[in-house]
């Protein structure tokens, strides 16, 4: 389960990078060139959107990378990343796979909490 969490977390993080590029770039383009009424309007919380665009890929990839050895910390990071994406970008066609993969990876990392060695890492 920890290896599946690693793979899904890294894939979800890469997809979150693409989402982050587009959302950060969208807010920057609207700020620089202005709104087009009815077509392209600025989001309500620009600072939150930019912060989440930067942090969620980092949290998802770092959580996926650490899930084989530190499943608790990795799972918590991936669940935080999924929750931040869900809160900021809502659930839609562009966010369903990054949120779904990162959230599932977080759950799998927490479910596979005991390593194969006799000592527990929690």
pLDDT confidence of residue 1:
87
Give a yes or no: residue 13 inside a domain: yes
Domain-located, residue 121: no
Tokens 């935080």 belong to residue: 80
Give the number of domains in the chain: 1
Beta-carbon neighbour count of residue 107 at 10 Å? 17
pLDDT tens, residue order, the chain (122 aa): 889 999 999 999 999 999 999 999 999 999 999 888 888 888 899 999 999 999 999 999 999 999 998 899 999 999 999 999 999 999 999 999 999 999 999 999 999 876 555 655 55
CB neighbour class for 20 (10 Å; exposed up to 12, middle 13-18, buried from 19): buried
Q: Is residue 120 part of a domain?
A: no
H/E stretch holding 9: helix 2-33
Q: Which two tokens stand for residue 99?
A: 């949120």
Residue 57 lies in a domain: yes
103 belongs to a structural domain:
yes
Q: Give this prediction's pTM.
A: 0.88
- pLDDT for residue 118: 61
Residue 60: what are its φ and ψ, rounded to 5°? -70, -45
Looking at residue 35, its pLDDT comes to 86
Q: What is the pLDDT of residue 101?
A: 97
Range of the domain at 97: 2-111
Q: Is residue 119 part of a domain?
A: no
CB-based burial of residue 7 (10 Å sphere; 0-12 exposed, 13-18 middle, 19+ buried)?
middle
87 occurs within a structural domain: yes
Do residues 103 and 61 make contact, with C-beta atoms less than 8 angstroms apart? no
pLDDT at position 121, please? 55
Tokens read off for 116? 């194969």
């Amino acid at each position: 389960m920890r290896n599946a969490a690693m793979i899904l977390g890294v894939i979800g993080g890469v997809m979150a990078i693409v989402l982050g590029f587009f959302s950060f770039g969208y807010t920057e383009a609207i700020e620089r060139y202005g709104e087009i009424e009815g077509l392209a309007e600025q989001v309500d919380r620009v600072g939150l959107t930019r912060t989440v665009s930067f942090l969620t890929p980092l949290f998802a990839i770092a959580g996926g990378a650490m899930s084989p050895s530190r499943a608790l910390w990795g799972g918590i990071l991936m669940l935080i990343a999924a929750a931040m994406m869900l809160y900021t970008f809502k659930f839609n066609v562009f966010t369903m796979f990054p949120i779904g993969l990162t959230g599932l990876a977080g759950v799998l990392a927490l479910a596979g909490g005991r390593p194969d060695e006799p000592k527990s890492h929690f």
